[in-house]
Chains A and B, each alone.
Chain A
Amino acid sequence: MDFEILKNSDVRYGLGVSPGIAIGSVFIYGKPFFKISLRKITDENITAEIARFHLALKQAKEDILKIKGKVSTDLGEKYAFIFEAHSLILEDPKIIDNTEKIIRENNSCAEYAFEKVLNGILKTIEFLDNDYLAERVIDIKDVGQKVLNYLLETDIPNTLSELRISALIVARDLMPGDTASLEKEKVKGLVTELGSYTSHTAIIARAMEIPAVVGVKNISTSLQFGDKIILDGKKGLVIVNPSDEVIKHYENLQKKHLEKKKYLLSFTKLPQKTVDNKTIHLRANIESVDELKLLAEYGAHGIGLFRTEYLFARGRKFPSEETQFEVYKKTAQLSKDYSSIIRTLDIGGDKIDIIEGMPQEKNPFLGWRAIRFCLTNTDIFKTQLRAILRASAFGNLKIMFPMISSIEEMTTAKVIIKEVMKDLSESGIEYDANIPIGTMIEIPSAVLIAESLAKVSDFFSIGTNDLIQYTLAVDRGNERVSYLYNYLHPAVLKLIKQTIEVGKKTKTPVSVCGEMAGDPVGALLLIGFGVRDLSLNPFAIPIIKEIIKNVNSVELEKLIQNITDFESTEEIEGFVRSKLKDYFKMID
C-alpha cells in the first residue's frame, strides 16, 4: 500500500535505525573539514582579490536573504530576524575594513585574511565572558563559513550547530559531539549519509526516541534548507517534498506508531521475572544526567552502563571534579535499591574526537582510546576516579574499566584507584572503600584471559558492540562492511558463552551491556546462556519485560544449549527464526 501511494513521490532509501515517523522541514547540518592556509598574492592582484572578497560577501548575503524569505513565509517573521542579523554581519564595516587591510598589507589571499579577522572577533568575544555573546559565536561562525565556502569554491554545508526551530536534521554524518548537544524538542528526526544500525547516531537516536534513517546517499547535498521531508525510521524511507495525500497517509501512520508506543509503555510496571520465577535484572544504559529520570519511567533496576564520555563531549573540554561529582552523586542517590555501574572515560575510536590535543589516528579503533588514554593521562583519570569515589558515599556505585585487553591494564588501573583512595582517606573525605571494580569484556583477548581477569575483577560486563566489532574485524560505522556485523555469528556467540562460563566457574557476576541486550532475540539468547543481568537502552526495557514474562528459563536454556555448534550465521539465523519466534510474536 505504501508503494502504491508513493509511486509519484521522490523517495530516497536508507537504513531505518530508530523507528517512528517524522514530518517537517529539513535543517542541513555540517562541519568544515578543511584548513585555510596563507596563499600570497602579487601586488597587482590585490585589487582583484578585494573584489573577489566583496563578491563572496554578496553571494553569501544573497543566500542568507533567500533563507530569510523562506523561513519568514514558512514559520513567520519572528524566526527570520536572526537572518537579518546574519546579513548585517556581512556588511559590518569593521570586518570588511580589517579584511581588506590584511589583504593589502600582507599580500594575503581573501580567505586567509577573512578567517583571521573572524577569529580575532571570536577571541574577543571569548575574552568578554558574556553569555549572550558566547551564544552568538555560532551565528558568526555560520555566516563566516558561508563566505569561506564561496571564497574556496566549496559547497560544504553550514556550521550551525544550534537549532532554533524544530526540524529534521540532515547531515553527511553526525559525530558523537554533535549528537550530544542535540535537544529532543528541537529535533524531529535525523537523516545521515553515513552510519549503520549500531553507529552512535543510531544509538543516540533510539535513546532519544527520535526517528532516524542512515545511509541515504547524497541526501545532505541534494536537499535545500526548508525542503519538506517525511522520514520513516522503521522502513528507512525519506520522501522529499511529498504531496498532501502522502503527508496525510503518513500522519495516520505516525498516529498509529504513537499508540503502539503507549501500549508498550504499559508493560513498564511488569515485574522482571520469568515464568519459573527467576529475576532478570534489566538495567539502563545512559549517557547523561538528564536520562536519570528514565530509570523510574521505564522501570529499570539501576544503571548497567553509564557512558561518561558524553559528559566530556558536552562541554568540549574535560569537566572538573566538582561537575563530575555532581553527576555521579545524583546517580548514586538514585542507586539505593539497585547499583549503578559507572564506566570510566572511553574516549577515542568513533567516540569523542573533539577534545583539543587528541591526535588524529589512522586506526582510532585500534588506537589510543579508553583505558589506554586514561593510563597515560593519569590526571584526567584520577579526577574522574576521585569524583566517582566521592559520590560512592551516597549510594551503590560500581566502577568499570573499558577496553581492557590485558591483565596489566587492570592491575595498573587498580593501583591508581588505590592511590586516589589513599588521598581521599588522608583528606578525611568519605567514600565506599569496597566499591566493586569490574572489567568490561569487549576485546576477544579479554575473553580468552577471562580466568586471569576474574582474579582482579569484582564483576564482568560484556560490551557486545565492541566485542562483535573486534571479533569480526568490522567497522560498524562503515556501510560497505556493516552487513558483516552480527551477534549471531557463531564466533561471537562462543565468546559470549565462554565469558559467562568463566563467570560461573570463578563466581564472577557477568552482566551484558550493548545493543544485543536490548534486542528481543539477543536478550533471549543471553538469558538462555544464563545471564541474569542485562543493561539496555531504557526505552527497550518494556518490550524485553513483556518477553521475559513468557520465558521459562530452564526450557530456554535447553533449547539453545547447542546453538554454538552451528557453523554459520545463516544456520543460526534460521534456528532463531524457527525456534524462538513464539517468544516475541506479540511485540511485532
Chain B
Amino acid sequence: MKEETIIIKNELGLHARPAAMLVKLSTSFDSEVELEVNEIKVNAKSIMGVLMLGANQGTEVIIRANGDDEEQALKEIKQLFEDGFGEK
C-alpha cells in the first residue's frame, strides 16, 4: 500500500465536477483507492463518498492506493489534485 498527503488547491474543492473526475480516474485502476479527510475515510471510486467528504480548498487529503497498479494510481491522482482539476 502507498499513500500521499496533498492539499486541495482548486477553488471549488471536491464539488461535483472535480469529484466526478476523481472517481472516474480512480475507477480506471485495479487498486483500491481511499481518501481520508479529518479521519473520515471514503472509497475514491464512490461519487457519494467523495462528495460527502465536502472537502474545500485548503483541506488536507490523504490518498491511499492498494493493489498491483498502486504506484501509477497514486501518481495520476496526485497529479489531478496538483493540476487543480483543470480549473482555470
Contact = CB atoms under 8 A, between A and B. Distances in A.
Interface string B17-57: 10110011001000000000000000101111101101000
A487 B46 CA distance: 59
A82 B16 contact: yes
Given A82-B16, A93-B46, A136-B16, A88 B23 contact: yes
Interface in A122-165: 124-125, 128, 130, 132-133, 136, 139-140
Contact of B43 (A93, A125, A139, A140): A93
Nearest to B21: A84
A469 to B, nearest CB: 45
A358 interface: no
Contacts of A130: 54
A85 interface: yes
Contact of B48 (A82, A84, A92, A132): A92
A265 to B, nearest CB: 41
Contacts of A95: 46, 48
A89 interface: yes
A14 to B, nearest CB: 36
B47 to A, nearest CB: 4
A94 B46 contact: yes
Given A94-B43, A94-B46, A132-B15, A81 B20 contact: yes
B52 A124 contact: yes
A121 interface: yes
A132 B52 CA distance: 10
A124 B17 CA distance: 21
A85 B48 contact: no
Interface string A57-89: 000000000000000000000000110110011
Given A91-B27, A92-B47, A93-B45, A85 B52 contact: no
Which range holds the interface residue count of chain B? Answer: 10 to 19
Contacts of B43: 93-94
Interface in A90-112: 91-95
A136 B51 contact: yes
A137 B48 CA distance: 11
B16 A92 contact: no
Interface of A is mostly: helix
Interface of B is mostly: helix
Contacts of B46: 92-95
Contact of B47 (A81, A88, A125, A128): A88
A191 B49 CA distance: 38
A89 B47 CA distance: 6
Contacts of A140: 48
A159 B45 CA distance: 26
Contacts, number: 49
Nearest to A135: B16
Given A81-B16, A82-B16, A93-B46, A88 B24 contact: yes
A91 B23 CA distance: 10
A98 B48 CA distance: 13
A81 B17 contact: yes
A238 B54 CA distance: 43
Most A CB contacts (10 A, CB to CB) among B19, B27, B43, B51 go to: B51
Contact of B52 (A81, A93, A125): A125
Contacts of A85: 16-17, 19-20, 47
A93 B44 CA distance: 10
Contacts of A92: 46-49
Contacts of A81: 16-17, 20
Nearest to B49: A94
A132 B47 contact: no
A122 to B, nearest CB: 10
Contact of A133 (B17, B20, B49, B52): B52
Nearest to A90: B47
Nearest to A84: B20
A91 B44 CA distance: 12
A211 to B, nearest CB: 32
Nearest to B42: A94
Contacts of B23: 88
Given A81-B16, A85-B20, A91-B27, A133 B45 contact: no
B20 A121 contact: no
A125 B51 CA distance: 10
A521 B74 CA distance: 74
Contacts of A124: 52
A446 to B, nearest CB: 53
B87 to A, nearest CB: 12
B27 to A, nearest CB: 7
Nearest to B12: A132
A121 B51 CA distance: 11
Contacts of A84: 17, 20, 24
A18 B68 CA distance: 63
A131 to B, nearest CB: 9
A81 B49 CA distance: 18
Contacts of A121: 48
Given A128-B54, A130-B54, A133-B54, A94 B20 contact: no
A124 B51 CA distance: 12
Most B CB contacts (10 A, CB to CB) among A88, A89, A91, A130 go to: A88
7 contacts: A85-B20, A92-B47, A93-B46, A94-B49, A133-B51, A133-B52, A139-B16
Interface of B: 15-17, 19-20, 23-24, 27, 43, 45-49, 51-52, 54
Q: State the 4 A-B residue pairs at the shortest beta-carbon distance, nearest first.
A: A88-B47, A85-B20, A94-B46, A85-B16
Interface of A: 81-82, 84-85, 88-89, 91-95, 121, 124-125, 128, 130, 132-133, 136, 139-140
